[in-house]
Amino acid sequence: MARDDETGLMVENAAARCAQCPLATCEGLRQPPDELRAWIAAFRQGEARFVRGEQVFAQGLRLRHLYTVLSGVLMRTRLLEDGRRQIINFMFPGDFIGLQAALDGEMSHAVEAVTSATLCVFARDRFFELAALQPRLSFDLTWLAAHEEAALEEHIVSLGQRNARERMAALAVFLVQRGMDTGLAPDGILPITVTQGQIADMLGLSLVHTNRTLQALRRMGLVDWTLSAIRIPDMDAARRMARIDGVGASAPRPYI
């Protein structure tokens, strides 16, 4: 039990837990070979737990560790000086946190827990040493970075070209899809507490308009998004509304 000087969060020594990593049984993820898993376990320093709503990392923070999401959902947000806030993306189990900050010095965004969440903690320098020894790890790292980039690309398309309804449908489809891939929404319902204010900050809409759009989608039977869960009664119709063309299915996602 030690106090992480970067963030004040609790870190437990829990290296042994890799053997029963909850992500090992997750169908949506590509499992690392045993040898790599052993290496990763050896380099893992512990876990950090956060409750819903807690700030995990502040914007501008200098990270001395790398993190991955072990359980739960988080979001990364960017704050402008005048108080405007943009939610960049949500993070699901298996996602990497802090890569850009580790390479570059400062976090360009803050991270906040959307649900209660657990992170795995790795020492930054030792992690990169391991990546140099294990091409597969390095490859997975690149894979994740490239796919996060693709997700942001999709978000840019939403913000730039889609109207409020399309945006919201696209976001709901995206989140539920990721929830299903990571085992959080086995039945197609993603139990996750997101306020309308947060949806607004993600989609670049006002709170009022977000509320009205949400109601419209619910009335149309496309997306049923409450404070505590996202449900998509008619996935095909929702995808049409969102103008999502690609199939969305891609190679299985690796994790660290």
Partner DNA sequence: CGTCGATTTGAACAGTCTCAAAGGATGTGG
Partner DNA sequence: CCACATCCTTTGAGACTGTTCAAATCGACG
Stretch that binds DNA, among 2-10, 75-83, 102-110, 211-219 (CB under 7 A): 211-219
Asked if residue 202 binds DNA (CB under 7 A), the reply is: no
Give the span between the Cα atoms of 88 and 155, in whole angstroms. 8
Report which secondary-structure segment, H or E, holds 222: none
Spell 193-212 as b/e; 16+ CB within 10 A means b.
Answer: ebebebbbbbbbbeeeebee
Question: Given candidates 138, 193, 196, 211, which one binds its own copies under the rule CB under 8 A?
Answer: 138
11 binds DNA (CB under 7 A): no
Nearer to DNA, 167 or 253 (CB): 167
Question: 211 touches which of DNA, its own copies, none (CB within 5 to 8 A by kind)?
Answer: DNA
Smaller CB separation from DNA, 108 or 215? 215
Give the Cα separation of 119 and 135 in Å (integer).
23
What residues contact residue 5 under an 8 Å CB cut-off, 6+ apart? none
Q: If binding is defined by CB under 7 A, does position 161 make contact with DNA? A: no
Q: How many other β-carbons are positioned within 10 Å of the β-carbon of residue 59?
A: 15
45 binds, among DNA, its own copies, none (CB under 5 to 8 A by kind): none
One symbol per residue from 184 to 203: x for binding its own copies (CB under 8 A), - otherwise; what is it? -----------------xxx
Q: Could you say whether residue 206 binds its own copies (CB under 8 A)?
A: no
Shortest distance, position 94 Cβ to its own copies, whole Å: 16
- Map tokens 């139990």 to a residue: 191
Distances from the Cα of 25 to the Cα of 8, 64, 122, 174, angstroms: 31, 30, 22, 22
Cβ at position 62, least distance to its own copies in Å:
13
Structure tokens at 230: 């996202």
**φ and ψ of 82, to 5 deg:** -85, 10
Site residues (vs its own copies, CB under 8 A): 78, 80-82, 84-86, 88, 99-100, 103-106, 108-109, 128, 131-132, 135, 138-139, 141-143, 145-150, 152-157, 159-161, 201-204, 243, 245-246, 250-251
Site residues (vs DNA, CB under 7 A): 163-165, 195-197, 204-215, 227
